[in-house]
């Protein structure tokens, strides 16, 4: 029996087959007269095809960092800013053994907004790229994503048309019509203000919405505003107040863990991720981050258990097998090391992922003493990603071991570089020893 077309379209929508739903609605609208239900359903289908969760979708690229106009204090107190992360007041591995992003934040076990999701481009590239249709600023990672998306009436305008100003006008008229008593429209106005970079106005709207209706999503939106204003302590307090009203809410606990991780309080972050697992033992981000923390704390066997858990849950990608290979190698389970890296190479979807696998294989080769293999692996890393600074550094070390040294004896440049290293990481023992040796050399001259 053939279904009635509109009912068929609803069936497609419920099964998340949005393209078929949109096409069927278009056929219905061609028949006179066009059904209003078909119009509404088509706008919802088109919106869902490009919908991005605004709570998580907040990637901060180099253009946002360089063009930030919302600095509160030039010299922030330690532990109160994401721009100047601490040196790990909450314990955990030191920056000497745990890699960090260019902004100084530790690389987490889970790629998410505001963490290392690819190597940032240069500022010159950001300024040369075209402007968006609605702003004179250089295209940033966020605005570029919205334009590429190209993409209920407000959500259609906001998500599909990316016309934030008209969406704001519509939300303002709607909240006025509701006599400023509808919390949902206030949240939408706050989202528009946030997208336009008016963070203080967004804060007022979200606070007003929370007074009328206590919602987890609104708390997460407001925390995003505080993080963009570089007020992590305020965001932490907000999350903790939210947990008083919504005990055990996973998204709030995870938000606290993320902030501690970005502020380099790794052990404290791991404790909160463990609290997340108590509420939801299939939370991929928490499992990955705890595993990463154990790996950099010299506990590869424990990290291996967490990554195997992800594999059992059905996570099957290049990054997971890359991490499994490293854990197996450092846990001395050599039979699984190369097979894990082979699977990672097979699953790599782009050149950056392939470069990461070859770089780690280079480390394995150094560990087993095969320097020729290590040299080839690091060269293959550069073939796939010519901007891989770590591979250049390791190739230089290998060349130095072979005695291929082009410049020796420039003590002044060495001293200057060591001073910069000390400023970046005051507690680094090797840097302290190098400075001591250089000072002894200078005293002898």
At the top level of CATH, the class of 53-60+79-117+134-280 is: mainly alpha
Residues 6+ apart with CB under 8 A from 196: 164, 165, 168
Domain boundaries, the chain: 5-50, 53-60+79-117+134-280, 411-444
Rounded Cα–Cα distance for residues 133 and 305 (Å): 49
Evaluate whether 337 touches 344 at the Cβ level (below 8 Å).
Answer: no
Strand partners, 131: 138
In which residue ranges of the chain is pLDDT below 70?
A: 1-3, 33-34, 52-79, 83-97, 99-106, 111-152, 403-410, 445
Rounded to the nearest angstrom, the gap between the alpha carbon of residue 65 and the centroid of all alpha carbons in its chain is: 15
Rounded Cα–Cα distance for residues 246 and 244 (Å): 6
Q: What is the pLDDT of residue 83?
A: 67
Evaluate whether 142 touches 126 at the Cβ level (below 8 Å).
Answer: no
Rounded Cα–Cα distance for residues 332 and 293 (Å): 19
Strand partners, 106: 100
Rounded Cα–Cα distance for residues 240 and 245 (Å): 9
Q: What is the pLDDT of residue 134?
A: 44
Rounded Cα–Cα distance for residues 151 and 145 (Å): 10
**225-252 confidence digits (pLDDT tens):** 999 888 999 999 999 999 999 999 999 9
Q: What is the pLDDT of residue 133?
A: 39
> What DSSP character marks residue 156?
I
């Amino acid at each position: 029996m053939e279904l009635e077309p509109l009912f068929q379209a609803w069936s497609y929508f419920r099964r998340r087959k949005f393209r078929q739903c949109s096409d069927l609605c278009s056929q219905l609208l061609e028949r006179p007269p066009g059904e209003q239900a078909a119009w509404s359903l088509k706008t919802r289908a088109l919106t869902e095809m490009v919908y991005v969760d605004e709570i998580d979708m907040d990637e901060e690229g180099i253009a946002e960092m360089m063009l930030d106009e919302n600095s509160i204090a030039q010299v922030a107190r330690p532990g109160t800013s994401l721009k100047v992360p601490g040196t790990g007041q909450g314990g955990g591995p030191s920056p000497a053994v745990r890699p960090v992003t260019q902004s100084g934040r530790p690389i987490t076990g889970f790629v998410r907004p505001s963490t290392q999701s690819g190597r940032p481009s240069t500022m010159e590239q950001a300024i040369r790229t075209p402007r968006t249709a609605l702003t004179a600023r250089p295209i940033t990672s966020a605005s570029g994503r919205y334009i590429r998306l190209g993409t209920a009436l407000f959500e259609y305008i906001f998500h599909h048309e990316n016309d934030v100003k008209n969406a704001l006008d519509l939300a303002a008229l709607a909240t006025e019509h509701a006599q400023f008593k509808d919390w949902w429209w206030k949240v939408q106005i706050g989202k528009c203000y946030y997208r336009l970079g008016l963070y203080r106005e967004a804060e007022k709207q979200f606070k007003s919405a929370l007074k009328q209706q206590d919602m987890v999503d609104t708390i997460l939106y407001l925390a995003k505003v505080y993080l963009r204003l570089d007020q992590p302590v305020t965001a932490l307090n907000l999350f903790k107040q939210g947990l008083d009203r919504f005990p055990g809410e996973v998204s709030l606990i995870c938000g606290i863990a993320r902030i501690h991780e970005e502020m380099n309080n790794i052990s404290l972050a791991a404790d909160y991720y463990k609290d997340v697992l108590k509420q939801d033992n299939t939370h991929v981000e928490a499992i990955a981050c705890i595993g990463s923390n154990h790996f950099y704390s010299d506990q590869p066997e424990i990290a291996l258990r967490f990554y195997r858990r992800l594999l059992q849950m059905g996570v099957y990608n290049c990054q997971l097998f890359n991490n499994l290979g490293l854990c197996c190698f450092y846990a001395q389970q050599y039979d699984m090391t190369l097979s894990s890296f082979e699977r990672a190479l097979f699953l790599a979807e782009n050149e950056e992922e392939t470069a990461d696998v070859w770089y780690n294989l280079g480390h394995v080769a150094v560990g087993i003493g095969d320097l020729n293999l290590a040299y080839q692996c690091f060269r293959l890393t550069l073939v796939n990603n010519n901007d891989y600074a770590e591979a250049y550094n390791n190739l230089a070390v290998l060349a130095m071991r072979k005695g291929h040294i082009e410049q020796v004896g420039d003590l002044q440049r060495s001293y200057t570089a060591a001073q910069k290293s000390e400023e970046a990481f005051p507690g680094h023992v090797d840097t302290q020893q190098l400075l001591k040796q250089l000072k002894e050399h200078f005293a002898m001259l």
